[in-house]
Amino acid sequence: METPAGYDVVLVTAGNIQEAEAIANALVEAKLAACVSLLPIHSIYTWQGELHKEQEWQLVIKTDLAQFSAMEAKIKELHSYEVPEIIALPIVAGSQAYLQWISQQVKSKE
């Protein structure tokens, strides 16, 4: 197990599978993400003063934190939500082989 520096998981929700897949494809093809997992979820939240209960898709994006700004811009470009969820969570530990694979898949800013 390695203690990673700069790797993260970014969470994004989308309203339907087509949008989720379009965002995932764009991020992987642009080398902004190594992998995106898509999960159906049920969200309960308040938006503009009203309670909403929605079926959504959760994107779990594995990447290098150095890509966050470019990734955020690409997601906003493709996303239909006025204020999409785009949050990064640090990976605090991981398999060295998996973290190296992320590095190989994601283009560096250098």
Distance CA 37, CA 20 (A): 10
Note the Cα 70 to chain centre separation in Å: 12
Distance CA 64, CA 8 (A): 6
8 A C-beta contact, residue 58 and residue 105: no
pLDDT, tens digit only, all 110 positions of the chain: 555 568 999 999 999 999 999 999 999 999 999 999 999 999 999 999 999 999 999 999 999 999 999 999 999 999 999 999 999 999 989 999 999 999 999 976 54
Among the residues of 1-89, which ranges form H helices?
17-29, 68-78
Element (H, E) at 7: strand 7-14
User: Which pTM does this prediction carry?
Assistant: 0.90
